[in-house]
Structure 1
Amino acid sequence: MDTIPAVLRRAADQYGAKPAYVDGDRTVSFTGILEAVRRTAAGYRERGFLPGERAAIWAPNSIDWVVAALAVSYAGGTLVPLNSRYTGHEAADIIDRSGASLVIVADGFLGRHQIDELRNASSLSNVREVIDIAALADLAVDPGAIDETAEAVTPDDVADILFTSGTTGQPKGAMSAHRQTVGVARAWGELGGVTADDRYLVVNPFFHAFGYKVGIVTGLTTGATLYPLATFDLDKTLALIESAQITVLPGAPAIYQSILAAPSRADHDLTSLRLAVTGAAVVPVVLIERMRAELGIDTVVTAFGMTEAVVVTMARDGDPTELVATTCGRAIPRMETRIDESGELLVRGDFVMLGYLDNPEATAEAIDTDGWLHTGDIGVMDEQGNLKITDRLKDMYISGGFNVYPAEVEQALMRMDGVTDVAVIGVPDERMGEVGKAFLVGTPSAEEVIAFAKDRLANFKVPRSVETVDALPRNLGGKVLKTELRNRN
C-alpha cells in the first residue's frame, strides 16, 4: 500500500542494516529507524495520541525530526510541520488553527527558548503536551500493538498538512493523502535516478515539501542514505560533500552560488556530486554551466512545484543547458499542465492536494470543478511542454528558496505605531534571488521598521530595505499598484 508506514516497513525489510541517516557522529540504519519509529509511536499512543489526531513539529533537520515525524504517521496521525525559523506567534497560530494535540519542539535552537515563546504567544488550548525533541528517546516504549495501528492507515488518509500563506496573508493548510506524499516522492526519485547507492545531502528544510517529501520519503522509497543539515553552513557543507562523497544535492540556486563562490572550494574534492535539482527562482544560464563545468555535476535539472502539488514539472537528464536554465521542464508522470486563456498555469493530476484545511471556499477558488489547480502563476509552454514562468498573478516572491507573501508582512508592519500605510515587494538580490523591500507611509525609521519585523516574522520574511513615501500609488479601486513600485527599482 502507498502509505508512509508501509513504505517505512518495506525499506527496513529491503535495506536492513544499510545506513538510512547520518547526522554528525550518529548513524541509524533502516532497521534502526523503523524500530525507533515504532517505539516512539507507541509512546505517543501512551500519552493519549489517537489515530486521526494531528501533531506539529517545530524543529530543524535532524534524525530526531525524522523519527518524530514518521512516528506520527505510524500512530495513525497527521503531520503538521512548522518552519523552524518561525517566531512563537507564527508557530502558535498554525498549531491552534491545525488543532494539533501534540507538539514536538527543538527548544534552544538558534539560542532561543521556543517552548516559552509558544506559551507566551498562545494558550494552545488543543495541545495536551509539548515535548522537547531532545527528550524524544524518553517517550519510547515497548511497541506493543502499534503495528496494528500502522497497518490500519489507508492510502486515502490525510498524511500531512503543510501550511502556505495566500495573498490575503492568512496561512492555509494544504492537505495531502498518503498516496500523494508517497507517489510524488517516488516519482521525483525515479526521474532523478536516485538509488540505494546515493548519499543525499538534505539542505532543504524538513518542514518544507522539498525536504520532507522529496527528501525523507524519497529516501525511504529509494534506499538512499540521507545526510540532514540543521542549517546551511558553507564550510561544513563542502567538508561533508568531500568526506561522505555526497552524490545528490538538491537546493535553491543560492546554495550552488554560495558553493561556487566559496574561497575554500578548491580545497575540497566535490567530484562525487552527480545530481543537482534546483528551482524556486530564476536560474541564470551561467549557473547551470558552472555547476556542470566547475563542480562536475553530470545531471543538473530544474523543477517547478508548490505546496499544493509538491512537484509539477521537472527537466530531464540530457536536456540542454539553455532549456534547464530557462524552463522548469515538463510535467512529471501522473501530472498535467496547461495555460489558460488568461495565461495562467493550471495543474491537474494525482499529486494535487486534497484541499485546504477547514477552508472549502479557498479550496473551491483554487481547484475548479474539472480538477484544475489554478496556480496564480503566468507562464508559457513550448511544443514539448516545457514550462517557463513569466510572471505572477500573486505578489509572492521567493527569498533564498522560501516563499514570502507580502500581504502577511504588510499585516505585521501595519501593527507598528506610526505606520499608516505599507506595501512590500520582492526586489532582485544576487545571493537570495529576491529580498523584501517595504514602501512605508509613516514616521518610523527604516531601522525601527526592520527591528519591529524581526521580532514578529521569520528572518526570510523581514524586509531588507525600507523606503518612506508620501503615499502609495493606487488605482481607482484602491488597489496598490505594485508594478509601479517595482519600476522604481
Structure 2
Amino acid sequence: MTVDRRGTWESIPEMVLSAGDRFGAAEAVVDGPLRLTFSQLVERVRVAAGAFASLGVGKGDRVAIWAPNSAEWIVAAFGLLTAGGVLVPVNTRFRAEEAHDIVVRSGAKAVLVQQGFLGLEFTGPPGVPVIDLTSDFLTSGSPFERAVAGDDVADIVFTSGTTGRPKGVLMTHAQTLRLYAEWCDLAQLRQGDRYLIVNPFFHIFGYKAGCVASLIRGATILPVPVFDVDVVLDLVERERVTMLPGPPTLYHSLLEAQSKGGRDLSSLRTAVTGAADIPVELIRRVREELPFRSIMTGYGLSEAGTVTASRPGDSFEDIATTVGTPCDGVEIRIAGDGEVLVRGYSVMRGYLDDPAATAEAIDPHGWLRTGDLGSLDERGHLRIVGRKKDMFIVGGFNAYPAEIEGFLLKHPAVAQVAVIGVPDDRMGQVGKAFVVRHGPVSEQELIDWSREHMAGFKVPRTVEFREELPLTATGKVLKDRLR
C-alpha cells in the first residue's frame, strides 16, 4: 500500500497501528538481540498505550522521554500517542537541572528514562514519577487506543537552547504525517529498507525523519544509542543496512574506514545529511568511494520540520553548497537583512505557554523568522550562510562564520572547523578559527592560504588546533563553549 503525500491517516497512532496490516511479518525494529516484526511492534504499542492509560494519562496529557535510541523508546513514544498523550522528548545530554526544567514546564505527568545510560542515574523533579523503560511498565497494560484528531498536538520538541532557554515547539499529528510522507519520497526511503538511525530520537531528524518515516514506508529501524564508528560499521555489515543518514562527520568516518579496507559496505544505498555548508569534495567522495547511489541534503528546524531538500539528480555542487528547494506547501523568502523566512502548513502552532515568543517568531502574515541567514538563487535553491546571532562585524563588514568555514573546509588538511568572532581593538571584532586537522598544516600556512581564497575581512586572524570540537548530540558545534 502506498500513501499519497498528504497521507490518508488522521493521526500518527492510526498510521502506526496500520503498519501491522500493511507490513505484517517484515522486520520493524532490530535492537541488539531483540527483533520485532511490524505485527509484534503494533501489539507492543497497543499494550504500552494501556499502561499509559492505567497510569492516568488522558487525552492531551504530556509525558517526557529522557532516554537514548532504543526499541523501548519507540514502543513508549507510539504507545503514549496511541493513549492520546503528547510526547515530550528530552535531550539525553542535558544535565538533571536542564531536563527537570523541561519536564516541569511541559507539565509532564511522568518521565521515562533508561537508568545507567552513559553511567548516569536519571531523576525527576519533585512529584513527577520516574519510570525506567527497561522495567515491566511498557508490558503491564491491556491493549488500548484512544481516538486522536489530526489537529491535536502530537509532540512538544524543545529547541536546542543554543540561544537561551529552550522553548517548546507545538506540532500536530497532521503536520508530521504530511511532511514526513513527502520526506520519504525525497529521501527515496523504500519499503524493506534497513534504516540505521544514529540521529537521536529526541531530535526531529531521529524521531520524525527516522521512526515516523520508517513506519510510513515500511523500513526496518536499527536504533543506535551512541555514535561509535565501529559499532555502526558492524551493523552495516551484519544487518545489510541500506539507509544511513547523519551529519557530515559520519561520512568522514565511513570514508576513513573504507580507505583502510576490510569492511563490506556494499549494501548502503541512500545517504541524507544537512549542514550550512558541506565540502563539494566530501559529496563527490561519498558518491565515488562509497556505494551510496543517492545523497539528499536538506534544511530544517524544530519550528517547521524539514523546510527544503535536494532532489534526485541534483549535482554535487548543488547538494554540497545549497540545501535544495522548498517542500510541497512550504514558501521561503529572504528578508531585507538576509534572514530566511518560512511560511506554510508545517510551521509550528506556537511555543508552549509563550505567546510573546510565538509572536516574535511568527509575524501576522504567518512568516516564521528562522534566525538563519541565506540567499535564494534564480532556480529557487536555498543557500544558508549562517546564523544571525553568529554574524560578527569586522571593520564595518558583516562576516558570516558558516561562509568562512565553508572556505576553510576546502583546504585539504582541514577535517572540521568552527569560526567565531573575538574582540579586536582596531577592527571591533575579527575571526578566530578552531580547526581539527587530518593532514599537516600550520597556523600561518592556513592564514596565508585563506588570504588567497577570501576577502581580507573574512580571513581568520588566529587559528587554534583541536583534537575535536565540542558538539551537541545532533552534531552542531557548541560555539558558546569555544567562546
Give your verdict on TM over 0.5.
Answer: yes
What code does the residue aligned with 1:74 have? T
What code does the residue aligned with 2:133 have? I
Structure 1 Cα separation of the partners of residues 246 and 437 of structure 2: 13
Aligned pair in 2 of structure 1 residues 391, 460: CA closer, same or farther (>3 Å)? closer
The equivalent of 2:134 in structure 1 is 134
The correspondence of residues 318-397 of structure 1 with structure 2, limited to 5 A, is 318-395=313-390
- TM normalised by structure 2 equals 0.80
CA contact (8 A) 1:2 1:183 kept: no
The correspondence of residues 154-173 of structure 1 with structure 2, limited to 5 A, is 154-165=149-160, 169-173=164-168
The correspondence of residues 455-466 of structure 1 with structure 2, limited to 5 A, is none
Structure 2 Cα separation of the partners of residues 169 and 225 of structure 1: 37
Note the C-alpha offset of 1:314: 0.3
CA contact (8 A) 2:51 2:137 kept: no
What code does the residue aligned with 1:356 have? Y
- 1:193 has 2:188 as partner: yes
The equivalent of 2:4 in structure 1 is none
Deviations 1:429-449 (A, max 9, x none): 4489xxxxxxxxxxxxxxxxx
The correspondence of residues 91-106 of structure 1 with structure 2, limited to 5 A, is 91-106=99-114
SS of aligned partner of 2:332: strand
Moved more, 130-139 or 11-20: 130-139
CA contact (8 A) 1:253 1:281 kept: no
Deviations 1:350-403 (A, max 9, x none): 11111100001111111111111111111111111110011321239999xxxx
Deviations 1:443-477 (A, max 9, x none): xxxxxxxxxx99xx99988779767xxxxxxxxxx
Aligned pair in 2 of structure 1 residues 427, 71: CA closer, same or farther (>3 Å)? farther
Query: Structure 1: which 5+ runs fail to align?
Result: 407-422, 433-452, 468-489
The correspondence of residues 47-126 of structure 1 with structure 2, limited to 5 A, is 47-115=55-123, 118=124, 122-123=125-126, 125=127
SS of aligned partner of 2:167: strand
What code does the residue aligned with 2:131 have? I
Note the C-alpha offset of 1:102: 1.3
SS of aligned partner of 1:134: coil
Note the C-alpha offset of 1:168: 5.0
The equivalent of 1:248 in structure 2 is 243
Deviations 1:164-191 (A, max 9, x none): 1556511100110001111221111011
SS of aligned partner of 1:60: coil
- 1:266 has 2:274 as partner: no
What code does the residue aligned with 1:239 have? D
CA contact (8 A) 1:276 1:299 kept: yes
Aligned pair in 2 of structure 1 residues 462, 388: CA closer, same or farther (>3 Å)? closer
Aligned pair in 2 of structure 1 residues 373, 106: CA closer, same or farther (>3 Å)? same
Aligned pair in 2 of structure 1 residues 206, 345: CA closer, same or farther (>3 Å)? same
Moved more, 354-363 or 259-268: 259-268
Note the C-alpha offset of 1:302: 1.0
Note the C-alpha offset of 1:427: 5.1
The equivalent of 2:29 in structure 1 is 21
- 1:306 has 2:301 as partner: yes
What code does the residue aligned with 2:277 have? V
Structure 2 Cα separation of the partners of residues 76 and 289 of structure 1: 46
Aligned pair in 2 of structure 1 residues 426, 87: CA closer, same or farther (>3 Å)? farther
Aligned pair in 2 of structure 1 residues 284, 306: CA closer, same or farther (>3 Å)? same
Deviations 1:216-250 (A, max 9, x none): 00011100111110111111111211121111111
- 1:10 has 2:18 as partner: yes
Aligned pair in 2 of structure 1 residues 180, 265: CA closer, same or farther (>3 Å)? farther
- What is the aligned length? 410
Deviations 1:66-115 (A, max 9, x none): 00100110010100000111111111010011110111001110111113
Structure 2 Cα separation of the partners of residues 393 and 299 of structure 1: 32
Structure 2 Cα separation of the partners of residues 63 and 137 of structure 1: 14
What code does the residue aligned with 1:251 have? G
Deviations 1:149-207 (A, max 9, x none): 1xx20000000000015565111001100011112211110112211121111010100
Structure 1 Cα separation of the partners of residues 332 and 201 of structure 2: 27
Aligned pair in 2 of structure 1 residues 378, 76: CA closer, same or farther (>3 Å)? same
SS of aligned partner of 2:360: helix
CA contact (8 A) 1:85 1:458 kept: no
CA contact (8 A) 2:277 2:322 kept: no
- 1:207 has 2:202 as partner: yes
Aligned pair in 2 of structure 1 residues 183, 459: CA closer, same or farther (>3 Å)? closer
Structure 2 Cα separation of the partners of residues 57 and 426 of structure 1: 38
CA contact (8 A) 2:257 2:263 kept: no
What code does the residue aligned with 1:24 have? G
Deviations 1:314-336 (A, max 9, x none): 00111010111000000011211
Deviations 1:113-145 (A, max 9, x none): 113xx4xxx42x4x2x210011145652222xx
Structure 2 Cα separation of the partners of residues 111 and 25 of structure 1: 22
The equivalent of 1:222 in structure 2 is 217
SS of aligned partner of 1:312: strand
- TM normalised by structure 1 equals 0.79
SS of aligned partner of 1:154: coil
Identity %: 46
Aligned pair in 2 of structure 1 residues 427, 157: CA closer, same or farther (>3 Å)? farther
The equivalent of 1:46 in structure 2 is 54
Q: 1:36 aligns with which of 44, 48, 72?
A: 44
Q: 1:286 aligns with which of 276, 281, 285?
A: 281
